[in-house]
Structure formats: C-alpha cells, structure tokens
Amino acid sequence: MIATLSAISAYFITRTSGGPGFPARKLSANPIAAASPTVQPPASAPSAGDVPPSDYANGYDLQPGPYTVSEVADLVLDDANRGKELHVRVFYPDDAGKYPIIVFSHGAGGSQNCCDGLTRHWAGYGYVTIQPTHDDSAVQRRNQGEENIRFMQAVREALKKPARWESRPLDITYVLDALPVIQNRVPGLIGKIDPNAIGVGGHSMGSYTTEAIAGALVDLPGHPARNFADPRVKAVLCLSPQGPSQFGLSDHSFDRISLPYMGMTGSLDSLGPVASPAWHKTPFERSQPGDKYHLFIEGANHMSFITPRTALPGGAEKGQAIFGYTNSASLAFWDAYLKGDARAKSYLQSSALEKSSHGAVKISRR
C-alpha cells in the first residue's frame, strides 16, 4: 500500500496542466540577472502609479529583474543558545541601498538548495533572500553521519516528530536575530539589510513554519497552543499552506493570524485524504480578515509552486506557465507589503492575473 501511495503521489507531483498561461518568456532563474547597465536603488524606479494593472498581460515583472544578484551558497551560523549550526543560503542585489528581507523555509526533507527560481528572482527585484536548512533535511542528516537516511524517511519522520515542528520556527527567529551577523560576514551585504521590512515564506512544511511565525498556535507535547509569532515579520507567503490535524495545528490555530497573508494551492495539490485543496485554504479562511489573498491554480500540483519542471512529456509549457503565475503573484505581494508599492497592491486587487491566465488562476480576498 505504501509503495502504491508513493507511486500515486509521485505521479501527481510531476503531472502538470492548466490554462494557456503567459506568452513564452525567459524566467528569472538565471545566475545573474540580465540588466545593462545596472539600475540604481528603488528610489530611481518608476513610481507606483506609472503602470496600471491592465499593462500586465504577460504577468507581473516576470523578466529578469533590474539588479544583478550575488549568492552565498552556504553560510554557517552558530546558534549558541540551542547548541546547533544553521546553514543558510543567501541571494542579494549587488547595488547599494537598503533592501527588504525574505526568509524562505523549505519543505519536509528538503534543504536550502531548493526554490531558487523564486528566491533569486525576488533578489533580482531588490530583496535579500535567506534560506535556512532545517533539522529534518535529508541532505543535512546525511552530512551529519546518517548515511542511510532517505528522503521519504526524512519526510515521514518530520511529520511524526514534534521536536522537528518546534525547531523550524525557532530557526526562523534565530535567522532574524542573526541578521547583523549575516550582514557583517558577507561583505557585499554591509549596509543593505532593512530590518523594518521582513517577510517570511515557505513551501509545504515550510508553510507550516511560516504559519507558526505568523501566529498560528501549535500543540506540542506538554505545551498546547504554543505561540511562535515573531513581531518583526510584516507579511507571509504560504505555498501549499498547511491546514489542521498536522504539525500540531488545530481548527482554531489560525484565528489570530492578522499579518498580510498570501496562500497558493492548486487542483492537483492533494497527496492524501487530508491534504485537499480545500484543506490548504483553511489558514486563509480562518485568519483575521484584511490583506489576505488565496490563489487556486488549475493544474498546479504540490511542486508546481517551486519549480517549472515536470517529468511528463509535453508538460514543460504548462509547468512554466504555472510557475510564472506563482512568481507574478508572490513578487507583487512582497512589493505591496514590504515595499509599500501601490502599483503592486493594485495588481493584487485587480483581475489582471486571472485574465492573463485565461481563468487558470482564481484569487480570493478578504
């Protein structure tokens, strides 16, 4: 039965379908954003009202961003209070200026090496992105001596072990505590971090991590309704949000979430009897109203939000389209709530994405 369920899950993870999507384009997943000459900091960018949402027939800022981007592939931080090392990956703009911070949390069993089609793209538009590797990572566990650990074993253990649930939001809070350390250890980052504009995002179990940081209450053994909320965070993004009855979340865990929130799921984002598209919508429905967005993407599976790749023949174009919708909506969300960009907020409030996706994307707001 386990083998059958795994095969079915693998099929849905790699299967993609959906609307016609945006016209073919070069997504900003390349190592260096193609910009010549390099633009100046955001003060010289077009004003928020210069471009109305109707001009986004090809998506919101999907071309490579105006900033060239540098990467720190693996920075090791020492969390002395918890007696652990935390590995992080960092992308940042090369230009002078202060930039908002986005901390992005990987899914169960993953690592800091995921999702650079998103995080590098955001950096190209003027963000510093930081990706920690959590304790459930299969790669990290192998590097620490568990040579026989397999990815699916790491995923199963992450689902069952409350210690993993607790450590993840604590990792995010530690990264925020360590921002001055990160800045000082990366010469290219000195003077570039804006500590007043911080967003947190994640995929799958990383969405659980994000929800906890946003104020979702987590039931841990001996400690019900644990609150991991971090007041420094201004907005949160959940790709395949996590609903109740998993990771210590209950029906009322989300009632206190008041931060600007965006969640994304899809018609194929269902890996079992619990995690249906309706279940993924629970945090949006139960959180406090105001600046809340939920995207439902026809044909999107559990992995569509973090990679355009698909294993099925002929699925490349649709995979690229769905990934484009993710990049458009997420960057507009960050611009609206971390940069205060009225143009981006207007895009989110409009029907531009729904129209340009030919109905593949449906946006709920509250």
Alpha-carbon distance 70 to 60, whole Å?
23
Residue at 105: amino acid letter: S
Query: Which residues are CB-neighbours of 198 under 8 A, at least 6 positions away?
Result: 100, 101, 102, 103, 176, 232, 233, 234, 338
Alpha-carbon distance 131 to 112, whole Å?
5
Please name the helix (run of DSSP H) or strand (run of DSSP E) that holds residue 2, with its range, or none. helix 2-14
Alpha-carbon distance 179 to 230, whole Å?
14
Query: Which of 324, 346, 320 is closest to 335 using CA atoms?
Result: 346
Alpha-carbon distance 51 to 357, whole Å?
19
Three-state DSSP at 305 gives coil
Alpha-carbon distance 307 to 303, whole Å?
6
Distance in angstroms between the alpha carbons of the first and the last residue of the chain? 41
Please list the residues that pair with 78 across neighbouring strands: 85
Q: Which two tokens stand for residue 148?
A: 């026989």
Alpha-carbon distance 49 to 54, whole Å?
12
Q: How much is the pLDDT for 152? A: 66
Please name the helix (run of DSSP H) or strand (run of DSSP E) that holds residue 286, with its range, or none. helix 282-286
Which residue carries 């895009």 as its tokens? 347
Alpha-carbon distance 59 to 53, whole Å?
9
Residue at 294: amino acid letter: H
Three-state DSSP at 32 gives coil
Which residue carries 């290219």 as its tokens? 188
Alpha-carbon distance 108 to 206, whole Å?
7
Q: Are 106 and 137 in contact (CB under 8 A)?
A: yes
Q: How much is the pLDDT for 154? A: 62
Q: How much is the pLDDT for 183? A: 96
Residue at 182: amino acid letter: I
Please list the residues that pair with 237 across neighbouring strands: 201, 262
Alpha-carbon distance 246 to 139, whole Å?
23
Query: Which of 211, 174, 198, 201 is closest to 106 using CA atoms?
Result: 201
Walk along the chain (366 residues) and give the pLDDT tens digit of each residue. Answer: 333 333 333 333 333 333 333 333 333 333 333 332 223 333 333 333 444 555 676 689 888 899 999 999 999 999 999 999 999 999 999 999 999 999 999 987 677 888 999 999 999 999 999 999 998 866 666 666 666 666 666 667 667 789 889 999 999 999 999 999 999 999 999 999 999 999 999 999 899 999 999 999 999 999 999 999 999 999 999 999 999 999 999 999 999 999 999 999 999 887 667 778 899 999 999 999 999 999 999 999 888 888 887 655 567 888 889 999 999 999 999 999 999 999 999 999 999 999 999 999 999 999
Residue at 83: amino acid letter: G
Query: Which of 180, 201, 196, 50 is closest to 121 using CA atoms?
Result: 201
Q: Which two tokens stand for residue 269?
A: 């984002």
